[in-house]
Amino acid sequence: MNNSDWNIIFKLNEFSNYFSGKGLIQLSMSSKKSRNLLAKDIFKTLNLRSFICDKDYSSLFIKEISQNYSKYNIFINPFKPLSSELIESKIKFINDLKKFNRVLKSLVVNECVRYHYLLNEIPYISSNITTLIFKNSHFRLDTFQYLLDNFKCLEKLELFENTILHNAEISNEYTVKYPISLRSLILYENNVMMISDKVSSISIHEYCIGKETYNLIVTYQYLPNLVTFGHDMELSNSNEKEIFNFINLNPQLKSLILIGLYFIESLFYIIKDYENIISLEIDCENCIDGHDPEEIPVLHNIKYLHVKYFNCIGYIIKDKFPNLTDLVIYDDCGINNENNEIIESFL
């Protein structure tokens, strides 16, 4: 080890991937040299919530009210022109963000409901984002599209349980144009809230689906570089149609991720026709069978199968996935003897 060149070792992906974010920070504190070498890994991800938590930025939040055992949050209308206070806060955010200018690769927007007016400024500071993740957040649809248009190198996009705000004064219809650079797209339980004026404050229920709030509609688009597609599962023909239409436009897909309470076995009939799909991840608690197991098609193309809840499709794994090389099962309920026999048949 005395002859090892740490200038090279610190730059290896295997080295940085071994440590957590906190681990890298602790290691960087050991010397000035290590700080310089590890800076690109430490600062490559911007978690917006963590970044703003110790800053004094102005918020869009007004107050919380309770009504009939429910809670509502009241916000400044997202389409109302920014006040001088919010403009000043935005300038402060830009100055604080400049230190990420050359190294920022990933942007994580998690539980950000009060500060989404700041998002528009990020592409000015760093347009080289390759990973964009929104989770449990609020943001304007046009802001989201602006980010997609300006992150020219974006490869990974994930949207989980967000409320997307759309100006209904223009139109109730909308589309999302995804960048053709995408290699992975995962969409799970996102809602679009129609806002009919640009002045009045808005109230958002903690459980958002309701009046003027709808499920996000998937825009059917051919994305030539896309290899992974993830979508939530619902008990509706429109949900199944969305998945089918998107896959149909992107036959080059290699990996499919399905998330939700229910898995619909009829999707096997879709998957079997796309031989490029070799990886299937099913994160569903229950299976809506309705089919005789003998009638379910055999998926010869699937080599990698990840199952969150074994009881969902465990009973057909052995017969319907004959060419598996990789089987991963995550199940908090444990594996019983019957399921264990199925697993052992692959050993």
Q: CB of 303 within 8 A of CB of 323?
A: yes
Look at residue 276 and tell me if it is in a domain. yes
Q: 110 is written with which tokens?
A: 């998690």
What pLDDT, on the 0 to 100 scale, is given for residue 131?
Answer: 97
Look at residue 334 and tell me if it is in a domain. yes
Question: Residue 209: helix, strand or coil by DSSP?
Answer: coil
Residues 30, 96, single domain; the answer is: no
Q: Cα-atom radius of gyration of the chain, to the nearest Å?
A: 23
Q: Which of 337, 173, 159, 117 is nearest to 257 (CA)?
A: 159
Mention every residue, 6+ apart, whose C-beta is less than 8 A from residue 149.
177, 179
Q: Which of 211, 216, 239 is nearest to 163 (CA)?
A: 216
Q: 232 is written with which tokens?
A: 């939530």
Look at residue 70 and tell me if it is in a domain. yes
Residues 36, 133, single domain; the answer is: no
> What average pLDDT does this structure show over 286-298?
73
Tally of structural domains, the chain: 3
Phi and psi at 101, nearest 5°, equal -50, -50
Look at residue 301 and tell me if it is in a domain. yes
Which CATH number do you get for residue 115? 3.80.10
Q: Which residue has the higher pLDDT, 25 or 195?
A: 195
Residues 141, 63, single domain; the answer is: yes
Structural domain boundaries, residue 15: 1-42
pTM over 0.75: yes
Gap between the Cα atoms of 74 and 52, Å rounded: 20
Look at residue 92 and tell me if it is in a domain. yes
Gap between the Cα atoms of 343 and 183, Å rounded: 32
Q: Which of 214, 277, 286, 216 is nearest to 250 (CA)?
A: 277
Residues 49, 26, single domain; the answer is: no
Q: How far is residue 148 CA from its own chain's centroid?
A: 14
Residues 127, 179, single domain; the answer is: yes
Question: Residue 132: helix, strand or coil by DSSP?
Answer: strand
Q: Interior CA angle at 108 toward 216 and 13, to 5°?
A: 125
Residues 29, 57, single domain; the answer is: no
Q: Which of 92, 88, 96, 156 is nearest to 126 (CA)?
A: 96
Residues 38, 170, single domain; the answer is: no
Containing H/E element for 241? helix 237-249
Residues 193, 340, single domain; the answer is: no
> What average pLDDT does this structure show over 90-100?
87
Phi and psi at 71, nearest 5°, equal -115, 140
For 5-48, the pLDDT digits (tens) are: 666 665 555 555 555 555 655 555 566 555 555 555 556 888 99
Look at residue 246 and tell me if it is in a domain. no
Residues 154, 171, single domain; the answer is: yes
Residues 160, 91, single domain; the answer is: yes
Residues 60, 184, single domain; the answer is: yes
| Crossing angle of the two packed helices 32-42 and 21-28, in degrees rounded to 10 | 160
- Mean pLDDT of the chain, nearest integer: 82
Q: CB of 279 within 8 A of CB of 256?
A: yes
For tokens 């248009």, name the residue. 149
Gap between the Cα atoms of 279 and 65, Å rounded: 46
Question: Residue 228: helix, strand or coil by DSSP?
Answer: strand
Residues 35, 54, single domain; the answer is: no
Mention every residue, 6+ apart, whose C-beta is less than 8 A from residue 10.
16, 34, 37, 38
Containing H/E element for 313? helix 310-313
What pLDDT, on the 0 to 100 scale, is given for residue 151?
Answer: 96
Containing H/E element for 127? none
Look at residue 51 and tell me if it is in a domain. yes
For 101-149, the pLDDT digits (tens) are: 567 889 999 999 999 999 999 998 888 899 999 999 999 999 999 999 9
Q: How far is residue 125 CA from its own chain's centroid?
A: 22
